[in-house]
Structure 1
Amino acid sequence: MRRGRKTRGGESGDGVGQGLDEQGGWWTSPSTGSVAMGTNVVRRLAWSLLICGPLLGGWALVSQPAPDNRPAPVVQSSNSGTTGPGGFAEMYVAAFLRAGDGSQDELAAFYARAADLELEGRPDAVQVGQIAAVRVEEIEPGRYWSATVAARVLEPARRGAADSGEQPVIRMRFFRVPIEADRDGGPLAALALPSEVAAPGGGTPKAELAYGAPLPAQSSDPAVGTVSEFFAAYLSGSGELGRYISPGTRLTPVRPAPYRSVTVTQVSAETAFQDADGDGRIGAPAGREQLRLVVGVKAARPDGIARPLSYALTLSGRDGRWEVAALDATPQIVLPDVPAAAASPSLSPAR
């Protein structure tokens, strides 16, 4: 190919129509054949789109998900009930226990007057292991609460005790926190520093379990036999769980099995089921009656260490034998007779 002289505008001096590409090399005008081939490709592509267009549109219409007619989820304010104040108190007490010199800003997120506090010691000298709100009392509905928080902490050894080899100690400590929310449902805030208090104690009547005295588990008792085989399958993977549960009951064994063996140690029946000899056995069912039990078991881990566990469950009679009808969430209880409590004190509006 004969190269022409380059002129302004990228045209060659001999008029052949040659020019420079972006990298400084030469390119030639496309031939008539290549233009025809490109035109043919474009034409075929256009026909393909024209034919496939309706098909693609129909597929998109059919594959659209069905409209979701479920109601939109309701976002519940964290200030409702006791969940919000309890969680707030847990975080506040944890920050308070870890606080030290320079921690005022962290505490100010919970207590507005924290900037004026004089804090001593190294931050995080006290380590918080577990913390939980154990009691939340609503003083003014939706406005004012008193929360009691339990904290399991690792405290540093006493000053000068390092030479004697004294180690940090773990203690359970309790704190009470006053918490408020503004009238517009805004963020929670602490009205004061936490108050360390004694562990919540007795004095309030307690509910009692609605079962008789615990009876030693006798292997000859049909109820104990069913329960023993059930827990062996449920906790240690020994046997088929479905053999010991009533038709229609859905229970899934614990997986992976956390124990290598399970032994039933005692049972407490909701009503007096004994055999004719009155020897403390529950005996076999006479029909399709139901029996609620609290069962104590000893479960041995793979390392051989046994742990006591307690379960509430309901047995159902069928064909002269007991089957597990339900693994109850809680045991049945008998509530004590409690006199009407005096009205809780409330805040009076500021005048």
Structure 2
Amino acid sequence: MKRSRRKARREQQEWPEDAVVEATEPAEQDDYEAPDAAGWKTSTAGLAGFARLARVATWALIASGPLIGVMALLGSSAPAQSAPKSAPAVQSSASTGPAGFAQLFVGAYLEAGEGSEKNLAPYYSGSIALTHPAGTRSALRTQVMQAHEVSSGYWSVTVAVNVAAKSKKGGYSDAGVQYFRVAVQSTGSGDATGYTAVSLPAQVAAPTSLKPGDLGYPTSRGGGASDPASDTAASFLKAYVAGQGELDRYTSPGVRISPVVPTPYASIKVTGVQDDSSDSASTKVPGDGERRRLLVSVDATDADGNSFPLTYALGLTSRAGRWEVSSLDDAPATAATSKPSSDPKAQAPSAPAAPTTPSGSASPAGS
């Protein structure tokens, strides 16, 4: 009996343990499977996101295909379209370098002599042996008269030189203006451009002189003291280069011309006036808006009493019964641009006016 009771009690004690095991096994199984289930779900979502991104990227690539092709085509052709055409190292319009080199070479050539041939090495690499004493001749002034490009990078430059010649007594005399032609070759380009003379200078005749055409001022008024236009011009020039008075008193409204500063002369004397009018005896000021051109010759005297001749080309316009200066011209007018003297109403085309600076000053003509 007791044995039966002990057995029953033992079975009751063991049952809960078995029950717990059995009851917990599903729970443990659930706990074990939960991470797998969660991990699988996460991987599925990630793969789904990547798939969507892949699809979007694929469609974007397909859609942009034509655009990429166009960009590639433009990229491959752009350099050919935008690349500048090749140009010679030195163009004919840029003769400053060869001209300056030729001037220096001619100056050194004239002053060189026996024992100083090395002074020509920077300009000419050929062999040279001079037999006259150095300093026999000297270049007082040099000026390029002509420069043209014979072929690409190969120049012919003619230089005018005011030569001083040394006498046997040691003094120098003026040997006049002489002309030398130099063949200059350029190498490189840009800042690396270099020059060399291919031969020694050749002394040549002076370039052919041109006969100037007739100027467009057929009427002479002498000193012009009694002519209102000449009087306006004289007063204007006194203010312009001698500081006597204000320029605004003698210029048309809106015309801004600044005086020469510092003032170079103490006084101005008009020595001759020519204009494009048809009657030298007429002193009447016409109605508003009439124009007249004047070529004014003056003697300008400085503070030391030295007198210098100058010539100015002026344009005048009538207004309110008086003449006013409307332009300080760059150059005297020629007969080809002058108005016909038989037609007093004809308006003469203005000669190129002096360029004005931002402050309104104008470049002097003939000063």
TM-score (norm 1): 0.62
Structure-2 separation of matches of 1:295 and 1:126: 41
Q: Which has the larger radius of gyration?
A: 2
Provide Cα deviations, 1:200-225, integer angstroms capped at 9, x if missing partner: 333x5544423325431221101011
Structure-2 separation of matches of 1:124 and 1:272: 56
Q: Is there any run of 5+ residues in structure 1 with no aligned partner, and where?
A: 1-76, 337-351
In structure 2, the partner of 1:191 is 198
Q: How does 1:30-109 map to 2 (within 5 A)?
A: 80-109=93-122
Q: How does 1:1-351 map to 2 (within 5 A)?
A: 80-113=93-126, 116-140=127-151, 142-157=152-167, 159=168, 162=169, 167-171=171-175, 172-182=177-187, 186-202=193-209, 204=210, 206-269=212-275, 271-274=276-279, 279=281, 281=282, 283-333=284-334
Structure-1 separation of matches of 2:284 and 2:155: 51
* Count of matched residue pairs: 245
Structure-2 separation of matches of 1:85 and 1:313: 38
Structure-2 separation of matches of 1:82 and 1:250: 36
Structure-2 separation of matches of 1:138 and 1:334: 34
Q: Is there any run of 5+ residues in structure 2 with no aligned partner, and where?
A: 1-88, 338-367
What percentage of residue pairs aligned between the two structures are identical?
Answer: 37
Structure-2 separation of matches of 1:255 and 1:289: 31
CA contact (8 A) 1:273 1:283 kept: no
Cα distance, 1:169 vs. partner?
A: 0.2
CA contact (8 A) 1:215 1:268 kept: yes
Change (3 A) 1:208 1:267: same
Structure-1 separation of matches of 2:148 and 2:128: 27
TM-score (norm 2): 0.60
Change (3 A) 1:85 1:292: farther
2:104 match: secondary structure: helix
CA contact (8 A) 1:289 1:317 kept: yes
Aligned amino acid, residue 245 of structure 1:
T
Change (3 A) 1:138 1:155: same
In angstroms, what is the RMSD of aligned CA positions?
Answer: 2.7
Aligned amino acid, residue 256 of structure 2:
R
1:112 match: secondary structure: coil
